[in-house]
Amino acid sequence: MRLFIDFVPLLLWMGLVTALVIVMLLASWVLRPHVLQNSEKTSTYECGEEPLGPARISFPYSYIIYTVLFLVVDVMGAFMWLYAVSALRTSVFVVWQVVVFAAVIMAAVMFVLKILPKAQMTGPEVVALYEAAKEQATGLHSEG
Amino acid sequence: MQEAEILFENIEFLLIAGVVIVLAYLALEHRDIVYAAFFFGFMATGVAGIFILLEAPFVAGLQIAIYTGGITALIIFGVLLIPRAQDSTLEVLHSPRMRKVGLVLSISVVVISALIALLFPWQESIPPEHIPLSQSLEGLAEWLWGTHAVYLEIIAMLLFVGLVGSVAIIRMEKEEQLRPRTEDFSLPIPEESEPESATSGMPVLEARDVKEEKEVE
Amino acid sequence: MVPLSWYMVLALILIGMGAYGMVSKRNLIRILISAEIMANGVNIALIALALYGPFFTFTAQALVILVIAVAAAETALAMVLMLLYHRRYRTVDLGIPVTRTEEVS
Q: Which of B74, B145, B162 sits opposite A88 (nearest CB)?
A: B145
Q: Which residues of B touch A107 (CB under 8 A)?
A: 160
Q: What is the pLDDT of residues A36-58, one digit of tens each?
A: 777 777 776 667 766 666 555 55
Question: B19 lies in a domain?
Answer: yes
Calculate the dihedral angle through the C-alpha atoms of B157, B158, B159, B162, rounding to the nearest 10 degrees: 120
Q: Is there a domain that residue B190 lies in?
A: no
Query: Which residues 30-49 of chain B have a CB within 8 Å of chain C?
Result: 33, 36-37, 40, 43-44, 47
CB of C63 within 8 Å of a chain B CB? The answer is no
Residues A78/B140, Cβ–Cβ less than 8 Å:
no
Contact list in A for residue B62 (CB cut-off 8 A) is: 78
Is residue A131 in some structural domain? no
* B120 and B144 belong to one structural domain: no
Contact between A74 and B70 using a beta-carbon 8 Å cutoff: yes
Residues B58 and B116 in one domain: no
Domain for residue A34, yes or no?
yes
> What are the mean pLDDT values of chain B's consecutive 10-residue runs (217 residues total)?
81 91 92 90 93 88 92 90 65 65 84 82 60 65 86 92 91 77 52 46 42 48
Considering the domain boundaries, does residue B209 fall inside one?
Answer: no
On whether residue A142 sits in a domain, the answer given is: no
- Domain of residue C87, residue span: 4-104
CB B82: neighbour CB atoms within 10 A? Answer: 26
Instruction: Kindly report the length of chain C.
Output: 105
Residue A13 maps to a domain: yes
Note whether B26 and B58 are same-domain residues: yes
Residue C53 pLDDT exceeds 80: no
Q: Kindly indicate whether the ipTM for this predicted assembly is greater than 0.90, answering yes or no.
A: no
Q: Which chains touch B (3 or more CB pairs under 8 A)?
A: A, C
In a domain, A12, yes or no: yes
Q: Does a structural domain hold residue A108? A: yes
- Per the DSSP assignment, residues forming a β-bridge with C27 are C93
d(CA A56, CA B79): 10
> Which pLDDT score is estimated for A18?
92
* pLDDT for the residue numbered C102: 45
Clarify whether residues B31 and B45 are in a common domain: yes
Tell me phi and psi for residue B24, to 5 degrees: -65, -40
Residue B57 DSSP code? H
Domain span at A81: 3-49+60-120
pLDDT at res. A142? 66
What is the span of the domain harbouring residue B100? Answer: 91-126
In this structure, what CATH number is given to the domain that contains residue C75? 1.10.287.3510
B166 located within any domain: yes
Specify whether B62 is located in the same domain as B1: yes
Considering only CB atoms, C84 lies closest to which of B134, B154, B169, namely: B169
Q: Give the residue with greater pLDDT, A67 vs B83.
A: A67
B18 and B67 share a domain? yes
Q: Please state the domain count of chain C.
A: 1
**pLDDT tens sequence across A99-138:** 999 999 999 999 999 988 888 878 888 888 888 878 877 7
For A82, which residue in chain C has the nearest alpha carbon? C65
Residue B31 is assigned to a structural domain of this protein: yes
Count of structural domains, chain A = 1
Between positions 73 and 132 of B, the ones with CB within 8 A of C are: 74-75, 77-79, 81-82, 84-85, 87-88, 90-91, 94-95, 98-99, 101-103, 105-107, 109-110, 113-114, 117, 123, 125-127, 129-132
Residues 10-39 of C with CB under 8 A from A: none
Burial of B168 (0-12, 13-18, 19+ CB in 10 A): middle
Identify whether residues B166 and B113 lie together within a single domain: no
The candidate with the shortest Cα–Cα distance to A120, out of A70, A61, A32, is A61
Same domain, B66 and B38: yes
Q: What is the pLDDT of residue C83?
A: 86
- The domain tally of chain B equals 3
**Residues B46, B19 share a domain:** yes
Residues B142 and B98 in one domain: no
Q: What is the DSSP letter of C94?
A: S
The CA distance from A81 to A105, in Å, is 15
pLDDT at B106: 84
Residues 6+ apart with CB under 8 A from C54: B125, B126, B127, B130
